[in-house]
C-alpha cells in the first residue's frame, strides 16, 4: 500500500508514534488509509451538514476494512459573496481547494480519497485534485436543498435575487420581499435549482466519479446518508481494485459529461470547470467540441431558473441515470465508460426509467433539439463566449441593440437601478475577467435585477466575467480575450451596435476590424485593482476563460 511509506519498516517508528498519538491502533494502521476531505463550514448552507455526511462516509470506510483520515478544505458561498468584492475570491478558491487536497494526500501518503463536497467551486476543485493525484477517488456531495414555499409556489434563491429588482420596479412590496426572504432557503443543501453546485454534482455521475444519486438525492434525506456509507465502502474496494481516475476520466467520460450538461440545461460555469478538470486529467477539450456536442444532444429538462421544477423533482423523476437512459436511446453516450461503481455506464443505467415525464422529457420530444449551452464567436469574442441558451427567451435569441458600457459590476448595477437602461439595450460589463476582476465575478445581481424589472425579454447583458447558474435571460459571459488583456471588449463605446445571433453562434459589434484595431491602438490596460495577497498572485497566474481560467 502507498501508505506503507509512513507506517512500515524500522525507520518509520517515529511516524507510527505520531499516528498512535492520534489514537490509531496497530490494527487500524494495517488497513488502507483513506483520506476524507471534508469541506464543512458554518457559512455555506450546502456545507452545514457535511460533518454528518462525513461521519457516514467514515462509517462506510470502517465497515469495508479501511481506516478513514479526515481533513478539511475551505469553501466560499457564492450567494453570500455575491455583488461585493468577496465574489472575486469565489473562482479563485477553486485552485486553492485543489492544491490543498493535493498537499494533504501527498504529504501524508494516503492510499485513496473521498471528497465530501457540495457547492460551486468546491466540487470542481476536488475533481481537479482527484484527476491530478490519480489515486482511487470518489465524490460524495451533501445534496441539494429542498425548494422553499412562498404564496403557494415553490421558490429558491434565484427568486429572491429577482425579487429585489421587482421591488425597485414597483412590482413587489418590501413586505412581500421580507416574507419571501424567510421562505426561499428552508434548510441545508446546495440551492434548489439547476445552479452551478447542482450542475457539477449531477455531472459527477455522468463523468463516472460518483455513485448514482449523488447529484439529486436531497440533503435532508436518509437516502443521502445511506449513499455516503456506500461511498465509504466503495472507496476501500477501489483501493483493492486499483481503480483510478485515469481509468475513468477518459475523453469518452468528458463527452458523456458534456452530453448530460446539454440535456439538463446546466450552468454556464460548467464550461470553465470541465475544461479545468480535463486539463488535470490530460484530456483535450475545446470550445469547438462543446458546440459539436451541443448541436447533437437535445435539451430534456428545464429546471429552475429556466422552469418550475427543482432538484427534488429531478430526483423523483429518476435522476441523472434516467436522463442518461433517454440519451442512450439515440446513441448519445459512450456506454462502455468506466465508473467508480465498478460497472460501465451502460450497465449502470440499463434499467433506469423516467418516472415523471413532465420533468425529464423524452428524447423524441425535447424542449429543443440541441443543448442548453452554446459557445458564441465573432469579432467581439474571437476566443469565444458562453450563453445558457436554454434560459434565453425566444425573442432574444437574435438581437441587435446599442451598447451601454460599464467598467465594473458596481457601475452596471447603479446604471440599471438608476434607469439608464432602455428596452433593446445591450449592457456591457467589462474588466471583470479572470485577470481584470480579478477573479471573474459572477453577475447575478445585474441579471436578476434586469429580470425582476421585467426587462429580461428586451435587454441583453455581455461580460468577460461570469454568470451564476441562477441567471436567466440573454446573458453572455466568459468573453475572451478579456478586456484587461486588450480584447475587443475594451474597444467598445456607448451606442456601438451589438449583434447577437445565438442560433448561428455569433457575437459581434458593427465595427470593422480596422476600426477595432484603431481604437485599441490608444488603449492602455487599467491599473490592477488588487496589488497584494492571494488575488494579486491569482491575477498574475490565471489563464483565459477559454482555457478554463486555470493557472498557466
Residue 501 has which C-alpha cell?
445571433
Distant-in-sequence, close-in-space partners of 237: CB < 8 Å, separation ≥ 6: 64, 342
In whole angstroms, what is the distance from residue 187 CA to residue 165 CA? 24
Given this model, what pLDDT does residue 104 score? 98
List of residues 6+ apart from 379 with CB closer than 8 A = 488, 508, 509, 511, 513, 516
Helix (H, G, I), strand (E, B) or coil at 359: coil
CB proximity list for 49: less than 8 A, separation 6 or greater = 142, 188, 189, 219
Looking at the predicted structure, is the pLDDT value of residue 229 above 90?
yes
**Who contacts 364 (Cβ-Cβ below 8 Å, separation ≥6)?**
none
Distances (CA, A) of 400 to 385, 397, 495, 496, 500: 17, 10, 11, 10, 6
pLDDT at position 180 is: 97
Whether 246 and 281 have beta carbons less than 8 Å apart is answered as yes
Classify 153 as helix, strand or coil.
strand
Q: What is the pLDDT of residue 355?
A: 98
Residue with cell 496497530: 26
Closest CA to 365 of 391, 330, 400, 402: 330
In the chain, what percentage of residues exceed pLDDT 70?
Answer: 100
Mean pLDDT of 66-71: 98
C-alpha grid cell, residue 549:
481560467
β-strand partners of 268 = none
**What pLDDT is attached to residue 471?**
81
Q: Can you read off the three cell numbers belonging to residue 394?
A: 425566444
Q: Which range (19-33, 66-80, 134-148, 152-166) has the least confidence?
A: 152-166
Give phi and psi for 108, each to the nearest 5. Answer: -110, 5
- The CA-atom distances, in angstroms, between 170 and each of 166, 291, 489, 520 are 6, 40, 33, 41
Given the DSSP bridges, would you call strands 374-378 and 460-463 parallel, antiparallel or unpaired? unpaired
Q: Which residues pair with 542 in a beta bridge?
A: 551
Alpha helices in 394-509 (DSSP H): 409-417, 444-452
* 61-75, 285-299, 344-358, 458-472: range with lowest mean pLDDT: 458-472
Give every CB contact of residue 171 below 8 A, 6+ residues apart in sequence: 452, 453, 454
Model confidence pLDDT, tens digit, residues 348-394: 999 999 999 999 999 999 999 999 999 999 999 999 999 999 989 99
**Residue 261 predicted with pLDDT over 80:** yes
What contacts 27, CB < 8 A, 6 or more positions away? none
Question: What is the pLDDT, as a whole number, of residue 447?
Answer: 87
CA 70 to chain CA centroid, Å, is 25
Q: What pLDDT was estimated at residue 522?
A: 87
Query: Which pLDDT does position 538 carry in this prediction?
Result: 97
Rg (CA), the chain: 23
Name which of 378, 477, 382 is nearest 429 in CA terms: 477
Cα distance between residue 71 and residue 116, in whole Å? 10
- Which whole number is the average pLDDT over 497-511? 97
**473 with 454: CB under 8 angstroms?**
no
What is the C-alpha to C-alpha distance for residues 527 and 203, in angstroms, rounded to an integer?
A: 38
Output the nine-digit C-alpha cell for 357. 415525464
Q: What is the chain's mean pLDDT, rounded?
A: 96
- Asked if pLDDT for residue 470 goes beyond 80, the answer is no
Q: Which residue has the cell 412590482?
A: 171
Q: What is the pLDDT of residues 403-452, one digit of tens each?
A: 999 999 999 999 998 989 999 999 999 999 999 999 999 988 898 888 88
CB under 8 Å to 292, separation ≥6 — which residues? none
The average pLDDT across 278-302 equals: 96
The grid coordinates of residue 17 equal 508514534
Q: What percent of the chain has pLDDT over 90?
A: 93
Give dist(CA 380, CA 389) in Å, integer.
18
Q: Are 428 and 364 in contact (CB under 8 A)?
A: no
Please say if the pLDDT value at position 95 is more than 80.
yes
pLDDT of 9 over the 80 cut = yes
Tell me how many helices (H) and strands (E) the chain has: 21, 14
Catalytic annotation on 468? yes
Which whole number is the average pLDDT over 136-163? 96
Q: How confident is the model at residue 455, as a pLDDT? A: 87
DSSP 1: -
| DSSP state at residue 464 | S
Task: Determine what percent of the chain falls in helix, strand and coil, rounding each to the nearest 5.
Answer: 45, 15, 40
pTM of the model: 0.96
Residues 452, 163: contact at Cβ < 8 Å? yes
Q: What is the pLDDT of residue 445?
A: 86
pLDDT at 358: 97
Residue 62 pLDDT > 80, yes or no?
yes
Max CA distance (Å), the chain: 76
Choose, from 39, 221, 468, 480, the residue flagged as catalytic: 468
The residue whose grid cell reads 517515529 is 14
Q: Print burial letters for 25-36: b (CB count within 10 Å at least 16), e (below 16).
A: eeebbebbbbbb
C-alpha cell at 385: 463566449
Cβ proximity of 475 and 467 under 8 Å: yes
Q: List the one residue out of 239, 200, 259 whose CA is nearest residue 112.
A: 239
Name the pairing type of β-strands 33-38 and 112-117. parallel
The model's confidence at residue 169, banded by pLDDT at 50, 70 and 90, is: confident
Mind listing the pLDDT tens digit for each residue in 102-123?
Answer: 999 999 999 999 999 999 999 9
Query: What mean pLDDT do residues 202-226 have?
Result: 98
Distance, in Å, from the CA atom of 535 to the CA atom of 93, rounded to the nearest integer, reads: 10
Amino acid at each position: 500500500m502507498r501508505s506503507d511509506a509512513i507506517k512500515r519498516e524500522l525507520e518509520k517508528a517515529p511516524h507510527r508514534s505520531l499516528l498512535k498519538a492520534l489514537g490509531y491502533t496497530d490494527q487500524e494502521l494495517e488497513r488502507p488509509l483513506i483520506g476524507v476531505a471534508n469541506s464543512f463550514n458554518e457559512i455555506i448552507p450546502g456545507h452545514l451538514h457535511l460533518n454528518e455526511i462525513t461521519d457516514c462516509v467514515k462509517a462506510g470506510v470502517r465497515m469495508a476494512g479501511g481506516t478513514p483520515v479526515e481533513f478539511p478544505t475551505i469553501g466560499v458561498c457564492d450567494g453570500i459573496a455575491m455583488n461585493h468584492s468577496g465574489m472575486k475570491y469565489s473562482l479563485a478558491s477553486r485552485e486553492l481547494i485543489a492544491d490543498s487536497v493535493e498537499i494533504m494526500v501527498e504529504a501524508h501518503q494516503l492510499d485513496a480519497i473521498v471528497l465530501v463536497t457540495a457547492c460551486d467551486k468546491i466540487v470542481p476543485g476536488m475533481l481537479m485534485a482527484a484527476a491530478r493525484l490519480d489515486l482511487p477517488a470518489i465524490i460524495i456531495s451533501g445534496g441539494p436543498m429542498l425548494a422553499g414555499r412562498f404564496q403557494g409556489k415553490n421558490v429558491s434563491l434565484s427568486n429572491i435575487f429577482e425579487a429585489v429588482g421587482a421591488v425597485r420596479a414597483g412590482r413587489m412590496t418590501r413586505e412581500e420581499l421580507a416574507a419571501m426572504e424567510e421562505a426561499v432557503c428552508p434548510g441545508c443543501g446546495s440551492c434548489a435549482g439547476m445552479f452551478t453546485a447542482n450542475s457539477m454534482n449531477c455531472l459527477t455521475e455522468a463523468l463516472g466519479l460518483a455513485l448514482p444519486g449523488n447529484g439529486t438525492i436531497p440533503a435532508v434525506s436518509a437516502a443521502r446518508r445511506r449513499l455516503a456509507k456506500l461511498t465509504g465502502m466503495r472507496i476501500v474496494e477501489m483501493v483493492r481494485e486499483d481503480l483510478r481516475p485515469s481509468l475513468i476520466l477518459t475523453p469518452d467520460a468528458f463527452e458523456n459529461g458534456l452530453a448530460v450538461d446539454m440535456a439538463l440545461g446546466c450552468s454556464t460555469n460548467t464550461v470553465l470547470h470541465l475544461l479545468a478538470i480535463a486539463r488535470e486529467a490530460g484530456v483535450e477539450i475545446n470550445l469547438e467540441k462543446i458546440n459539436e456536442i451541443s448541436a447533437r444532444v437535445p435539451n430534456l429538462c428545464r429546471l429552475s431558473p429556466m422552469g418550475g421544477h427543482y432538484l427534488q423533482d429531478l430526483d423523483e423523476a429518476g435522476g441523472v441515470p434516467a436522463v442518461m437512459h433517454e440519451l442512450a436511446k439515440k446513441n448519445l453516450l459512450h456506454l462502455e465508460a468506466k465508473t467508480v461503481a465498478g460497472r460501465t455506464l451502460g450497465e449502470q443505467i440499463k434499467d433506469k426509467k423516467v418516472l415523471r415525464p413532465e420533468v425529464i422529457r423524452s428524447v423524441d420530444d425535447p424542449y429543443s433539439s440541441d443543448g442548453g449551452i452554446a459557445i458564441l464567436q465573432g469579432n467581439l469574442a474571437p476566443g469565444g463566449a458562453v450563453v445558457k441558451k436554454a434560459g434565453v427567451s425566444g425573442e432574444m435569441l437574435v438581437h441587435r441593440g446599442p451598447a451601454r458600457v460599464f467598467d465594473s459590476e458596481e457601475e452596471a448595477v447603479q446604471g440599471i437601478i438608476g434607469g439608464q437602461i432602455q428596452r433593446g439595450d445591450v449592457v456591457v460589463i467589462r474588466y471583470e475577467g479572470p485577470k481584470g476582476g480579478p477573479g471573474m465575478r459572477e453577475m447575478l445581481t445585474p441579471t436578476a435585477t434586469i429580470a425582476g424589472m421585467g426587462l429580461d425579454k428586451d435587454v441583453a447583458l455581455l461580460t468577460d466575467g461570469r454568470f451564476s447558474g441562477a441567471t436567466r435571460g440573454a446573458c453572455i459571459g466568459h468573453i475572451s480575450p478579456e478586456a484587461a488583456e486588450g480584447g475587443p471588449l475594451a474597444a467598445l463605446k456607448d451606442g456601438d451596435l451589438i449583434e447577437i445571433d445565438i442560433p448561428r453562434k455569433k457575437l459581434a459589434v458593427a465595427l470593422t476590424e480596422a476600426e477595432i484595431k484603431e481604437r485599441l491602438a490608444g488603449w492602455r490596460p487599467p491599473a490592477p485593482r488588487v496589488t497584494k495577497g492571494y488575488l494579486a498572485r491569482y491575477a498574475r497566474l490565471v489563464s483565459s476563460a477559454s482555457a478554463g481560467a486555470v493557472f498557466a
